[in-house]
Structure 1
Amino acid sequence: MLHSKYIVFIILFFLLSNIDAQVKLNKSRLPDKDNPFNNDSSSIKKSKGFKKLATIDMYLQFNIDKDSILVDTTISIKKNYKFNYLQKDNFGLMPFANIGQTYNTLSFDPIESVTTPLFGARARHFNYLENEDVKYYEVPTPWTRLTYKTAFEQGQLLDAAFAVNLSKQFNFSIAYKGLRSLGNYQNALTSSGNFRFTTNYKSKNGKYKAFANVVMQDILNQENGGLNNDDIENFETGTEEFLDRSVFDLNFDNAENILVGKRFFLNHSYSIIRKKDSLSKNELSITNIISFEDKYYQYKQDSPSNDFFGNSFTSIIKDKTTLENFETQLGVNYFNNIIGQFKLAVNYKDVNYGYNSVIIFPNEYIPNRIKTSFFGLSGDYSKSIGLFNLKTKASINLSNEFKGSFVDATLHYKLNEDIDLKGGLSISSKLPNYNYLLYQSDYVNYNWNNFNVFENVRTQQVRFNLESQKYFNASVDVSNIDNYTFFNFADTVDDYKVIKPNQYNNTIQYLRFKLQKEIRVGSFALDNTIMYQNVVSDNKVLNVPAFISRNTLYYSNQLFKKAMTLQTGITLNYFTKYNMNGYDPLLAEFYNQNEKELGGFPVLDFFVNAKIRQTRIFFKAEHFNSSFTGYNYFSAPNHPFRDFTIRFGLVWDFFL
Structure 2
Amino acid sequence: MNKLVTTLLFLYVLSALNAQQNEKIMSIKSKNGQNQHQDSLNVDANKKENKKDKELKANIKDYLIISQNRDTTYVDTSLTIQKEYKFNYLRKDNFGLLRFSNLGQTYNSLTYNFENTSLMPDFGARAKHFNYTQISDVNYFRVPTPLTELFFKTAFEQGQLADSFFTINTSPQLNFSVEYKGLRSLGKYQNILASTGNFTFTTNYQTKNKKYNLRGHITMQDFLNQENGGIIDDNIDEFENGDPEFLDRSIFEVNFENAESFLKGKRFHLEHDYKLINKADSLAQNKLSFAHIMSFEDKFYQFDQTSADTDYFGESFVSRVQERATLENFYNQLQLNYSNNLLGDVQFNVSHNNYNYGYNKLIVLNGTTITNRLKGNIYAAGAKYNKQYKGFNLNGEAGVNFAGDFDGNFIKAQASFKIKSDISASASLNHSSQVPNYNTLLHQSDYINYNWQNNFSNIQTQQLSFNAKYKKLANLTVDYSTITNYVYFKKDETSQQVSPFQNSATITYLRAKLENEITVGKFSLNNTIMYQNVQDTNNSLNVPELNTRNTLYFSSHLFKKALYLQTGLTVNYFTKYYLNAYNPLLAEFYVQNETQYGDFPLVDFFLNAKIRQARIFFKTEHFNSSFTGYNYYSAPNYPYRDFIIRFGVVWNFFM
TM > 0.5 between the two? yes
Q: CA deviation at 1:208?
A: 0.1
Counterparts of 2:338 and 2:399, CA distance in 1 = 18
Q: CA contact under 8 A between 1:163 and 1:174: conserved in structure 2?
A: yes
The alpha-carbon deviation at position 491 of structure 1 amounts to 3.1
Match status 1:118 vs 2:122: yes
Question: How far apart in 2 are the matches of 1:124 and 1:79?
Answer: 25
In the TM superposition, what is the alpha-carbon distance from 1:614 to its structure 2 partner?
A: 0.7
Tell me which residue corresponds to 1:411.
Answer: 415
Letter in 2 for 1:472: A
Which 5+ residue runs of structure 1 have no aligned equivalent?
A: 25-43
Please state if 1:202 is matched with 2:182: no
- Matched letter for residue 417 of structure 1: S
Correspondence for 2:385? 381
Would the alpha carbon gap of residues 277 and 529 (structure 1) be closer, same or farther in structure 2, given more than 3 Å must change?
Answer: farther
Partner-residue secondary structure (3-state), 1:166: strand
In structure 2, what is the equivalent of residue 153 of structure 1? 157
Separation (CA, whole Å) in 1 of partners of 2:125 and 2:497: 17
Match of 1:88 in 2: 92
User: Which residue is equivalent to 1:631?
Assistant: 630
Q: CA separation in 2, counterparts of 1:427 and 1:506?
A: 17
Q: Is the 8 A contact 1:46 1:53 kept in 2?
A: no
Structure 1 distance, partners of 2:104, 2:494, is 30
Of 211, 225, 232, the match for 2:229:
225
Shift of 1:11: 7.4
Partner residue of 1:490? 492
- Whole-Å separation in 1 of the counterparts to 2:627 and 2:6: 43
Counterpart CA distance in 1 for 2:516 and 2:251 is 44
TM-score of the aligned structures, taking structure 1 as reference length:
0.93
Structure 2 residue 260 is matched with structure 1 residue 261: no
* Deviations 1:88-108, CA, capped at 9 Å, x for gaps: 000000000000000000001
- Structure 1: distance between partners of 2:193 and 2:8: 24
| Higher deviation after alignment, 584-593 or 45-54 | 45-54
Match in the other structure for 1:271:
275
Q: C-alpha separation between the residues in 2 aligned to 1:391 and 1:398?
A: 23
- Which residue is equivalent to 1:131? 135
Match of 1:34 in 2: none
Query: Which deviations, in whole Å up to 9, do the C-alpha atoms of 1:128-164 show, x marking residues without a partner?
Result: 0001101110000000000000000010011000000
Give yes or no for contact 2:530–2:546 (8 Å, CA) kept in 1.
yes
- 1:223–1:257 CA contact under 8 A, matched in 2: yes
Distance in 2 of aligned mates of 1:388 and 1:291: 34
Change over 3 Å in CA distance of 1:278–1:81 after alignment to 2: farther
Q: Secondary structure at the match of 2:541?
A: coil
> CA shift at 1:539, angstroms?
1.7
SS of residue paired to 2:627: coil
Equivalences for residues 108-507 of structure 1 within 5 A:
108-276=112-280, 280-362=284-366, 364-399=368-403, 401-450=405-454, 453-469=455-471, 471-491=473-493, 497-507=496-506
Counterparts of 2:257 and 2:264, CA distance in 1: 22
Identity of aligned residues (%): 53
- The residue number in structure 2 matching 1:27 is none
> What is residue 525 of structure 2 aligned with on the other side?
526
Structure 1 residues 46 and 306, CA gap change in structure 2 (3 angstroms)? farther
Query: Displacement of 1:7 after TM fit?
Result: 5.3
Q: Note if contact 2:218-2:269 (Cα within 8 Å) is conserved in structure 1.
A: yes
Deviates more, 1:157-166 or 1:64-73: 64-73
Distance 1:208 1:318, change over 3 A: same
CA-to-partner distance for each residue in 1:229-265, whole Å, 9 max, x for gaps? Answer: 0001110001011000001000000000010000000
Checking the alignment, whether the CA contact within 8 Å between 1:82 and 1:89 is kept in structure 2 is yes
The one-character-per-residue Cα deviations of 1:385-440 (angstroms, maximum 9, x if unpaired) are 22111011111111352000111111010011211101000000011000000000
- Deviation of 1:17 (Å): 10
**1:563 is aligned to 2:562:** yes
Cα distance per residue 1:42-89 (max 9 Å; x no partner): xx9969542642110100111211111111100000000000000000
Residues 14 and 144 of structure 1 are in contact (CA less than 8 Å); yes or no, is this contact kept in structure 2? no
Distance 1:617 1:519, change over 3 A: same
Q: Work out the CA distance in 2 between the residues paired with 1:61 and 1:382.
A: 22
Letter in 1 for 2:468: L
Aligned mates of 2:286, 2:483 — CA distance in 1: 41
Aligned residues: 629
Moved more, 400-409 or 528-537: 400-409
| Cα pair 2:379 2:404 within 8 Å, conserved | no
C-alpha RMSD of matched pairs (Å): 2.1
Q: What is the aligned partner in structure 2 of residue 645 from structure 1? A: 644
1:122 touches 1:588 (CA, 8 Å); kept in 2?
A: yes
For the 8 Å contact 1:45–1:53, the answer to whether it is kept is no
* Distance in 2 (alpha carbons) for counterparts of 1:265 and 1:300: 31
Contact kept, 8 Å, 2:295 with 2:330, in 1: the verdict is yes
Q: CA deviation at 1:492?
A: 7.1
Which letter does structure 2 place at the counterpart of 1:155?
G
TM-score, normalised to structure 2's length?
A: 0.93
Distance 1:405 1:45, change over 3 A: farther
Q: Which string of whole-angstrom CA distances, capped at 9 and with x for unpartnered residues, describes residues 623-650 of structure 1?
A: 0000000000000000000000000110
Give the letter for the 1:457 counterpart. Answer: I
Distance 2:360 2:105 in 1: 28
Alpha carbons 1:552, 1:572 under 8 Å: kept: yes
Looking at structure 2, the residues matched to 536 and 230 of structure 1 have their Cα atoms a distance apart, in angstroms, of 35
